[in-house]
Chain A
Amino acid sequence: NAGVMQNPRHLVRRRGQEARLRCSPMKGHSHVYWYRQLPEEGLKFMVYLQKENIIDESGMPKERFSAEFPKEGPSILRIQQVVRGDSAAYFCASSPRRGRMETQYFGPGTRLLVL
């Protein structure tokens, strides 16, 4: 049973470009969470999505960041006009059901470097 898949694993962008990060949840999971980890920090929740719905985006920056989880295909975290401060590891997690007591299973992350 494949785990959570993320790609690319590493992404380099110049300031002002767009970054697209993809996440495929574990088989049977329809709930996806995105987190960001800055250097020397813990993971910070960004957004929680179900298929075709954003449920909780309380951790998303107000500008330049967006997320989607279409009916078909992976979840996408999109960062427009990247800045150096966006350099971080972005992790996706999935769970089989909604619920704050559901264990979230994480992917390997995408390391974004903005030059």
Chain B
Amino acid sequence: DQQVKQNSPSLSVQEGRISILNCDYTNSMFDYFLWYKKYPAEGPTFLISISSIKDKNEDGRFTVFLNKSAKHLSLHIVPSQPGDSAVYFCAASDSGGGADGLTFGKGTHLIIQP
């Protein structure tokens, strides 16, 4: 049972435009969400996180939006740059119980075209 879903396996965006990556979750106990970026043959790199008490968190070119009622979050990258081409993973945790580890989606491969 996939509790964190990233329904787009890949996304192609032109350099300079906005990239929007989406993530849905089914477990209503999740209250902390993270985005990681991963290059081939490397480990995931932390990008940005958001607690369920917020609906937006911004860090430079990266903004994460959380819609709790829809159980949906999105990562916006503006403007998109060639170095942003990577696989992006959405992850979630339940601070009140459940496993100590993060629950990951399957990832979205973002391709930035020149």
Contacts of A59 in B (CB 8 A): 99, 101
**A55 touching B49 by the CB < 8 A rule?**
no
With CB as the reference atom, state the residue of chain B lying closest to A9. Answer: B41
Assess whether B100 is in contact with A55, with CB atoms less than 8 Å apart: yes
Q: Which residues of chain B from 21 to 39 have a CB within 8 Å of any chain A CB?
A: 32, 34, 36
How many A residues touch the partner, as a band? 20 to 34
B102 adjacent to chain A (CB < 8 Å):
yes
Size of the B side of the interface (Cβ < 8 Å), in residues, is 27
A68 to chain B, nearest CB (A): 16
Q: Which residues of A contact B91 (CB under 8 A)?
A: 43
Residues on B with C-beta less than 8 A from A44 are: 104
B43 A33 Cβ-Cβ under 8 A: no
Please, which residues of chain A bring their CB within 8 A of the CB of B16? none
Are A104 and B102 in contact, with the CB atoms below 8 A? yes
* Distance between Cα atoms of A93 and B99 in the complex (Å): 15
Q: How many A-B contacts are there with CB distance less than 8 Å?
A: 74
Given A101-B51, A108-B43, A40:B106 Cβ within 8 A = yes
Contact A42 B104 (CB under 8 A): yes
| Residues A99 and B49 in contact in the complex (CB < 8 Å), given A44-B104, A46-B101, A108-B43 | no
- Please state if A103 and B99 are interface contacts (CB–CB under 8 Å): no
- Binary per-residue interface labels of chain B (72-103) against chain A in the complex, 1 for a CB within 8 Å, 0 otherwise: 00000000000000000101011100011111
CB-defined A-B contacts under 8 Å, sample of 30? A4-B43, A33-B100, A33-B101, A40-B106, A42-B4, A42-B6, A42-B105, A43-B44, A43-B102, A45-B99, A45-B102, A45-B103, A46-B101, A47-B101, A48-B99, A48-B101, A55-B100, A56-B99, A58-B99, A91-B44, A93-B43, A98-B100, A100-B94, A100-B95, A101-B93, A105-B46, A107-B43, A108-B43, A109-B41, A111-B41
